[in-house]
Amino acid sequence: MEYFKTLENLEASFRKFADMSKCVIYNGDDKNTLDSLEGVTGKVMISFGKNDCCDYVAKDVDWKDGAFPCFDVYHKGEKLGRIELSVPGEHNVLNAMAAICTAMFCGATFEQCKISIATFKGAGRRFEYLGTYNGADVVDDYAHHPAELEVTLSAAKKMSYKRVWAVFQPFTFSRTKLHLDAFAKALSIADKVVLTEIMGSREINTYGITTQDLADEIPGSVWFDTFQKVCDYVKENAEEGDLILTLGCGDVYKVAKMILELLKLVGLENEKHKNSPPRVRHLPWAIHILHLKQKDDIPARRNTRICRTTGNKRLFRTEGTARRPTRHLRVKQRRRTARPLQQ
């Protein structure tokens, strides 16, 4: 709307586009879409939706694992089959219906559509799963408008996560100012909300709006002025079973990758400590002397100490030079014999 200014201008743009098309596939349940198509004639018109007045209808919507939609598809009253999605969210029901209409208009069969849709895992930056480390899933999404945030976070909450994190980067000062209350309402769906600085993009902040204003409207939320601080906070507070969801159309995807790397390092460090042998705490150099016996092929007159830093055993003499490793003495002795003194 920053460009079109009014809904009428936006509808006129869609109408102009439809006039240039051979076939118009549209959401028959949406009033604004129907208004946009008034006066469009001479085209193949195919509608989809959830009401029986549409050409293609989605019925009996169910949920797999609480988040992934499954539904029956009817074409002019005839049942074509059942669709199972691999992307979460109720909004993807209509997205899938639009794809089915388009593919079948181009000659695909319903069975081909069914197989392709089942294997589709989502587009980049649309609930894009990036990885799981330290028990927390990291997902990135392009949602930046309150309506998009609401459907994305609602879908995430239906999944079997312990907590849902919304790491959100507001985009443009004008939009943040205009939709401040709507942003606060949508983001409050999440269990934990972390905000970044507003990405002004093409704008200068003449609106007097800051991230603090948005944070004040969301109880329990926090905000930071750098991505690194955001990552550090998430790393310190994320728990196993959480979903960390970065949201926004700016460069907030960088935060997702940074968080993933931090959690990966934490996971590797935990795994390292888990697999490493228990360390014995010592006073400087040695407090615990292990006397090796003859069966270890080392003379009984020698003993070893455990290095406080590496945990390795080091061989020492028991007399004279007890604090100097034997191997060092041998190296020094070899150097002396290799260079005889000149007469």
- What is the rounded distance in angstroms from the CA atom of residue 318 to the CA atom of residue 323? 9
Name the region of 81 (left: φ>0; alpha: ψ -120 to 50; beta: rest): left
pLDDT of residue 311: 54
User: Does residue 53 surpass a pLDDT of 50?
Assistant: yes
| Separation CA 324–CA 78 (nearest Å) | 90
For residue 54, the SS3 value is: coil
pLDDT confidence bin for 18, thresholds 50/70/90 = very high
Please tell me the distance from the alpha carbon of residue 145 to that of residue 149, in angstroms, as a whole number: 6
CA dist., res. 52 & res. 297, Å (int) = 88
The predicted model gives 309-329 an average pLDDT of 49
Q: Look at the pTM and tell me if it is higher than 0.85.
A: no
**Mean pLDDT of all residues in the chain?**
82
Instruction: Provide the pLDDT for residue 270.
Output: 59
> Cα–Cα distance between 82 and 114 in angstroms, integer?
8
Res. 226: pLDDT tops 90: yes
Burial 21-49 (b: 16+ CB within 10 A, else e): eeebbbbbbeeebeebbeebeeeeebbbb
With cut-offs at 50, 70 and 90, classify the pLDDT of residue 132.
confident
| Beta-bridge partner residues of 90 | none
Helix (H), strand (E) at residue 112: helix 110-119
Q: Which of 6-15, 95-104, 158-167, 322-331 has the lowest mean pLDDT?
A: 322-331
Burial degree of 310 (CB within 10 A; 0-12, 13-18, 19+): exposed
**Strands in 50-133 per DSSP E:** 56-64, 68-75, 78-84, 128-133
Percent of the chain with pLDDT over 90: 60
C-alpha distance across the termini of the chain, in Å: 97
Q: In this prediction, what percent of the chain has a pLDDT beyond 70?
A: 76
pLDDT value for 289: 34
pLDDT tops 50 at residue 288: no
Longest dimension (CA), the chain: 114
Residue 186: exposure state from Cβ atoms within 10 A (0-12, 13-18, ≥19): buried
pLDDT tens for 175-204 read 999 999 999 999 999 999 999 999 998 899
Q: Is the pLDDT of residue 267 over 50?
A: yes
The alpha carbon torsion through 305, 288, 276, 234 (nearest 10 deg) reads -120
**Is 340 a residue whose pLDDT tops 90?**
no
The pLDDT of residue 134: 80
Degrees, nearest 5: CA angle 118-136-167: 90
